[in-house]
Structures are given as C-alpha cells and as structure tokens.
A = this chain, B = another copy of it.
C-alpha cells in the first residue's frame, strides 16, 4: 500500500483578507500531479477540508470539482475525515453515494470503528470529535477528555484488527509533544484535548491533521502532513507539501515539497526604499509581505502608496516600536452599524449580502434609529 497523506486544506480561507482560492486550486492540482507521478494507490485527507462550517459557494464548487476529478475521473480511492473547521453534518450529505466509488468521507464518531479494507490495509477514519460524542457512544460518563476517549477508541478499534493486514488511523487532533503555530484555532482547555503519542502505537501509521506544520511531530509511526499552504506569518519558515507513505513490510516516508504561487516573506526597509524600483526589483513583490518599516515619521497615505507596488501586504510594522497594522485599519472601517452587520454577515456566511438581505437590514436599522 502506497498512499498520499494530506490535510488542513481550509478551502475558502482568507489570509489577512486576501482570497486564497486561486492559490488553493493551484496547490491542490500540484497534489494530484504528485499522486499520479508517485502512482499511489489512494489519497488520505486528514480533516479541515473547508475553513468554516458554512463555506462560500466558490469553496463548495471547488471541492466538488476536485473530488469529481480525483475520484470519478482519475479513479483514486479517497479516505477522508472532517476536521474541527468542517460542519460534520453538512459534509456528510451525499457520503453514502460517494462511498460507492471508493470516496470514503467519515464525519461521525460512530463511523470510525468499522475499518475500510483496501488492498493489504485497514483504514480507520476517525473524524474530529468532542469528548461528549465518546461519552454518548460508549455510554460512559467518566469520559471527560479526548485522551480518555482515545483510550477507549483505540481499544475498540483493535478488536477489528486483522493480523494479516496493516492498520492506518486517519485522525484530526493534537498529539502531545507537537509544536503549534499561530494559525491553528486554539481549542484546548488546559491540555484537555491532547493525546499522548504512545496511545497511537498499535497502528502502523497515523495520518494526522490539525497542526499546520508537517514537522510538528516526529513519531516513528505518526505524522502531520501540515497544510499545503502557509496560513499565517508564523508559518513563514515551514516546508509545505505532502507525505508519500509506503507501507509494505516497513514504513517508508517521503515528504514531497510543493511550491506555492505566492510565498510569505518579510522585508525590512525605509518607506523611501520601498518605493524605489532599484529596491523592489530585487525582491518578489507578488509574495505575501510582512513589512518592517524603519521610518519614525508619520507617512500620509502610506498604505495606498505601498499597495500600489506590493499587492499582497500582510501587515506593516514600525521596527522602532510604533505599530500600524492593516487589521487595525480594518477595525476602524467597520464602525458604522450597517457596515458592521454587512462585514459580520460576509465574514460568517462567506458570501456577500443579497439585495433583499441588504434592504431588510436597512429597514430594520431605520426602525432602530427612529425608536431610539
């Protein structure tokens, strides 16, 4: 069995307000190219397919298009789970039909105990879950943490182990000893969500999702694939790509790097330098740039001047301590009630408001003003 391990696609995610869809489409097509070149038998996706529970239509469209291509056209079996960013219910729609062409997408805790046998391997697909799901499944009120749950989960899974086969666990959680970066949602409370790596020993390989750094965990039989793209400045020095997992008598792991359309980079310079072609021709202006500004004086219309040259600015920070970041600026822009509601709606739903919604909002705000 030779498969490709990826995770944390976060389709539809924005980076400081910049739409990443084009970059995501590029990097995911690179993954398919690797799968074909490496002649893998299957593709594993360890959760967080989407960035939010209600993805924008463009995100839904893209994921659907990808799966048609990978599974129906290229005939790759797919073993996937939902992550903490996905809506397990929304993602589960249609899965009964998907599995008929070996596109297995598990989103419910209870589904994880029936392994999917493929060639010489049993795949256990354990979606992201909260302890309450385990409490109710095992009818055991003493289960308070993910670790307690996982002890029972692994015991239960082992009952289905076929000694003649290899066992792969696909899951989405935080394994103790891993290093976190900024862009993962902080979900743990006092370490309650952490799994000791030792618990995962019974498996020949554990394909993990959740942490965006592929180097976060160096356990003999377990790896994070990491996200295929950098999603925050803190990931600036991380390698991004996918694992090719060869599971015959021994486990052989090969990390294949992917070059993104645009990288994240830092630049330290004075405002004058930044506007000087002889300076900016020496760097890749298309990258997502974190700018450290050497100046001390106030610079009028600074962001607009910079944006005319650098299309993807993550933030601008004064090296000498005076801060000015784009996110601050955005906060100031949305102080009007209508703009606030609109921004909030767009942010949450991932779609602009329709005319009908907008007129509903305006009418209600009007009423509000009149009665205050």
Asked if A199 is an interface residue, CB under 8 A from chain B, the answer is no
Q: Are B357 and A340 in contact (CB under 8 A)?
A: no
Q: Are B341 and A371 in contact (CB under 8 A)?
A: no
Distance from A362 Cβ to chain B, minimum over Cβ atoms (Å):
12
The complex is assembled from copies of this chain, and their number is 2
Q: Complex Cα distance A72/B100, Å? A: 11
B residues near A60, Cβ cutoff 8 Å: 89-90, 93
Stretch at the interface among A36-44, A257-265, A329-337: A329-337
Q: Are A97 and B89 in contact (CB under 8 A)?
A: no
Asked if A345 is an interface residue, CB under 8 A from chain B, the answer is yes
Chain A 18-74 residues near chain B, CB threshold 8 A: 54, 57, 60-61, 63-64, 68, 72
Asked if A355 is an interface residue, CB under 8 A from chain B, the answer is no
Asked if A101 is an interface residue, CB under 8 A from chain B, the answer is yes
Q: Are A89 and B57 in contact (CB under 8 A)?
A: yes
Q: Are B93 and A367 in contact (CB under 8 A)?
A: no
Q: Complex Cα distance A35/B351, Å? A: 38
B residues near A340, Cβ cutoff 8 Å: 341, 364-365, 368
Interface residues contributed by chain A, number (CB under 8 Å): 40
Asked if A92 is an interface residue, CB under 8 A from chain B, the answer is yes
Picked from B57, B92, B334, B368, the residue with its CB within 8 Å of the CB of A64 is: B92
B residues near A57, Cβ cutoff 8 Å: 87, 89-90
Asked if A348 is an interface residue, CB under 8 A from chain B, the answer is yes
Q: Complex Cα distance A348/B358, Å? A: 11
Q: Are A364 and B334 in contact (CB under 8 A)?
A: yes
Asked if A361 is an interface residue, CB under 8 A from chain B, the answer is yes
Q: Complex Cα distance A275/B203, Å? A: 67
Beyond the given A63-B93, A348-B357, please list 5 additional residue pairs across the A-B interface where CB-CB is below 8 A.
Answer: A54-B351, A57-B90, A72-B96, A341-B341, A344-B361
13 CB contacts below 8 A, A to B, read A57-B87, A57-B90, A64-B93, A64-B94, A72-B96, A93-B93, A94-B98, A331-B367, A334-B364, A335-B371, A337-B337, A340-B341, A344-B360
